[in-house]
Amino acid sequence: MKTESLEIDERFGQEYKGRYVFQEMTWAKRNRIIQKHTKYSKATGEVESSDFIAIQAETIWASLKEQPQTKPISLEKLLGEDIGVPVELGELFSKIANKLNGMSHEDLRFLLEQLDEESRIQLFKSFGFVKPSGGLQHSSQDSPQKPSSNSQSSSTS
């Protein structure tokens, strides 16, 4: 199965510094995660709702095979709204997990389309893409961030 390792510097805080290894999960595991967080109409079989954040968090957690000895990442922290992982770190982990596990843009778009407007707005707010007035924007920091010295490598085993 494919793996990808990532070395994180202090960019996200000393707590997260270290080596992380992600591994492709099985088709069955990926689909069970999606099924677990998706509600279907009993009458039509159509998708009624889907918890995109829970799907992403569990996908990351299931793919994460190694992390620093201090174990800074947990499923609870990935799901946490008040005490969670930094947005950019969560996005980086999502990108790696989705790449390894075949979550295409179409899959993600499908899951997002299942959310009602309020849930979509909450999701975008959590990523820093919604102004208080409701318009979309890309968040920016007041001070420029130094580039991360992340080193990514892929290998197959």
Look at the chain and report how many structural domains it folds into: 1
Does 126 score more than 70 pLDDT?
no
Mean pLDDT, range 120-138, rounded to an integer = 53
| pLDDT tens readout for residues 18-54 | 999 999 999 899 989 989 999 888 998 888 888 889 9
Does 144 score more than 90 pLDDT?
no
Average pLDDT of the chain? Answer: 80
User: HSE (CB half, 13 Å, CA atoms) of 24?
Assistant: 14
Strand-pair category, 38-40 with 47-50: antiparallel
Q: Which residue has the higher pLDDT, 16 or 150?
A: 16
Sign of the C-alpha dihedral computed for residues 140, 141, 145 and 150 taken in this order: negative
Domain that holds residue 122: 2-156
Which DSSP string do the residues of 12-64 spell out, in sequence order?
G-GGG-EEEEEEPPPHHHHHHHHHHTEEE-TTT--EEEE-HHHHHHHHHHHHE
Compute and round to an integer the Cα radius of gyration of the chain: 17
